[in-house]
Amino acid sequence: MQKDERDLLDVLKFELNFLEKGGYGRSPREPWRPQFIFEDSPTCMNYDSKHDPGPCTECVLMHLVPRECRELPIPCRHIPLNEGGDTLDSLYRQCDQYEIEDAVRTWLKTEIAHLESERKSASSAKPEITSETDSLKGMPLGHETGPKCSNPACATAFHWHEGGKFFRFRPDPASASAFQCETGTTPIKHFWLCEKCCHKFTLVYTEGHGVIVKPRFLERPLTEEPKQLASAPVTFPDRNSALS
């Protein structure tokens, strides 16, 4: 597992966006258990990597974990969230999901504002959340940081044989002339979402903001009635054709 070289500010912004979009709702894969902050988010460096997880000591969030807690099994549960010293570990013991998410939301906004105040001179080329779309800008494969997943909060490096989904975009007609190359044609930019990200997110082009990362769907609310499947006939494949 390569070292987690993501930008902390990008990760926190994506986490806030994921939280506010209902990302910690009931999971269709594991509806029997609650969702854990950071651990069940695409921002986790080991999200969907149960077979070959990397050490948490390589995660960018370790910058926020007190030194005395960095050797614990799940270090991100011990990040101080307020002046009272509350952590996810303590909140899980005494608060419900709504209270936990509210505390994390407040902490994320405070931490993001703090980091942004320290980075007033940061490069404008770095991906950031746009004011209107409230989404992260997608990174093209030819980005200066090297070919990787277009989700700025994901550290997965690009490999031809690792699955995922490709996208390509041209500038909108109104601004195409500004992007024409020497041959007079409008260049195409290529993007790639890794296997884990393409199941939760997609890339869309929005005028004035460019290519942005959007959730494919929100988790279904707990009050939603399950679909009736009994009326649909159930068919089974022929045994002989299945073995051929």
The per-residue pLDDT for range 157-207, each reduced to its tens digit, is 877 666 788 888 876 554 444 444 444 555 678 888 888 888 778 888 877
Q: Is residue 238 one of the residues assigned to a domain?
A: no
CA 150 from chain centre, in angstroms, equals 10
pTM exceeds 0.75 for this model:
no
Cβ atoms 169, 205 nearer than 8 A: yes
Give CA–CA dist 151/139, Å, rounded. 7
Q: Is residue 195 one of the residues assigned to a domain?
A: yes
Burial class, 139, CB count within 10 angstroms (exposed 0-12 / middle 13-18 / buried 19+): buried
Q: What is the pLDDT of residue 90?
A: 95
- Binned at pLDDT 50, 70 and 90, residue 155 comes out as confident
Q: Is residue 84 one of the residues assigned to a domain?
A: yes
Q: Is residue 235 one of the residues assigned to a domain?
A: no
Residue 50, domain extent:
8-215
The secondary structure element, H or E, covering residue 193 is strand 189-193
Q: Is residue 86 one of the residues assigned to a domain?
A: yes
Task: Give, in order, the Cα–Cα distances in Å from 94 to each of 85, 88, 100, 101.
Answer: 14, 10, 9, 13
What are the b/e assignments for 41-74, b being 16+ CB within 10 Å? bbbbbebeeeeeeeebeebbbbebbeeebeeeee
Q: Is residue 163 one of the residues assigned to a domain?
A: yes
Give CA–CA dist 47/233, Å, rounded. 36
pLDDT at residue 231 is higher than 50 = no
Which of 14-28, 66-80, 224-238 has the least mean pLDDT? Answer: 224-238
Q: Is residue 103 one of the residues assigned to a domain?
A: yes
Q: Phi and psi (nearest 5°) for 148? A: -155, 180
Q: Is residue 32 one of the residues assigned to a domain?
A: yes
Give CA–CA dist 176/168, Å, rounded. 15
Cβ atoms 38, 61 nearer than 8 A: yes
Question: Is residue 191 classed as helix, strand or coil in its secondary structure?
Answer: strand
Q: What is the pLDDT of residue 240?
A: 52
Give CA–CA dist 45/60, Å, rounded. 9
Structural domains of the chain, count? 1
Count of Cβ atoms closer than 10 Å to residue 155 Cβ = 22
CA nearest 67: which of 59, 79, 51, 50?
79
